[in-house]
Amino acid sequence: MTILHRRSVLAGAAAATLAAPAIAHAQADWPKGPIKFIVPFPPGGSTDPIARIIQAKLIELNGWNVVVDNKPGGTGVVGASIAAKSPPDGNTWLIVFDSHILNSIWTPALPYKDSELMPVMQIGRSAQGIAAHPTRPYNNFAEAVKAAKAQPGKISVAVLAASQAQVLFAAMQKDNGFEVNTIPYKGGGPLFQDALAGVTDLSVSSLVNMVPHVRAGKLKLIAVTGEQRSKAMPDTPTLAEQGIKAAPSYAWWGVYAPTGTPKPIVDRMHAEITKAVRSPDVTQKFVDQFDMDIVLSSPEQFAAYQSKEQAFWSKVIKDNNLKPE
């Protein structure tokens, strides 16, 4: 799996069409009718606009009838279930956020099985950010950890329920010997409402949603969770740079199809989404607006990544007896 960072992405984008492999003709009668991108979240956030940017480019490049169908509910479970139960004819695709792969861990009695959805590709990833309200005295996360050790449980941290952020904070507390009051929220709207109002001391979110508030001076970014500093916020140190023991954590976006979707169709859609994302204007939007590292992994690479991530975060969830809310 090759991750393309800003410089290499932008330099290579102009030659994107030359880089796309020749794909054997998919079934001659595909697509039949509209192609549906199910987004298991409401409009807003990051998954919906990413799906709509890809939708628009596919329409432009191929003349296809592509629609985005928002099916929110249950941290993505409702939409994922609809996609899993859809006919595997290449007309239905699921575009998800990273929390998708945790659903089967949080909720053993899901209305669908992971095996009913086949990984198609990871589109890209972005580190998460940890921010403090401007009135709080923490200029970096190490200072917040020091305060949390002095007064266990006093510092409150807003996270999305059933998210990597919730699991990450549980692991960090255990590995670094501090205790905070982690508050799970059911959506980004209420999370940021409280974070911006100073109801919570710290908040964790993908940088996509956090950076606008930081630039407006309404939040203070004190750490990023990736292996490297953020392109959008290069002055903010990583957790590792601050001496915090933590596995690198990323928000990411991916595509799935109902299991049984014919391989020629999956290969064709993979190639077309790759071409769309590598189009210079789309690449620029994803890099600038979403602080995204473009990934575009193969189905096999994405399946291996999902398996590895599920095994790692599942152990953290079970070791800490975490609940989604």
pLDDT tens digit at each of 325 positions of the chain = 546 555 455 555 544 444 444 444 545 689 989 999 999 988 877 899 999 999 999 999 999 999 999 999 888 999 999 999 999 999 999 999 998 999 998 887 899 999 999 999 999 999 999 999 999 999 999 999 999 999 999 999 999 888 889 999 999 999 999 999 999 987 788 899 999 999 999 999 988 889 999 999 999 999 999 999 998 899 999 999 999 999 999 999 999 999 999 999 999 999 999 999 999 999 999 998 889 999 999 999 999 999 999 999 888 888 888 877 6
Cβ atoms within 10 Å of 245's Cβ, excluding its own: 12
What's the burial of 99, exposed, middle or buried (CB within 10 Å: 0-12/13-18/19+)? buried
How far is Cα of residue 215 from the mean position of the Cα atoms in its chain?
21
Domain with CATH 3.40.190.10 in the chain: 127-242
Cβ atoms within 10 Å of 35's Cβ, excluding its own: 21
Residue for token pair 């490049």: 61
Q: At 314, phi and psi to the nearest 5?
A: -60, -40
Q: Does the domain spanning 127-242 belong to CATH 3.40.710.10?
A: no
What is the structure's pLDDT at 59? Answer: 98
Cα separation of 44 and 108, whole Å?
Answer: 28
3-state helix, strand, coil in the chain (%, to 5): 45, 20, 35
For every residue of 286-300, DSSP letters joined together read HHHHH-PEE----HH
Domain with CATH 3.40.190.150 in the chain: 6-125+250-319
Cα separation of 172 and 174, whole Å?
Answer: 5
Question: Domain spanning 6-125+250-319: which superfamily?
Answer: Bordetella uptake gene, domain 1 (3.40.190.150)
H helices within the chain, ranges in order? 6-13, 16-19, 47-62, 77-84, 103-106, 141-150, 164-176, 188-197, 207-215, 263-278, 280-290, 299-319
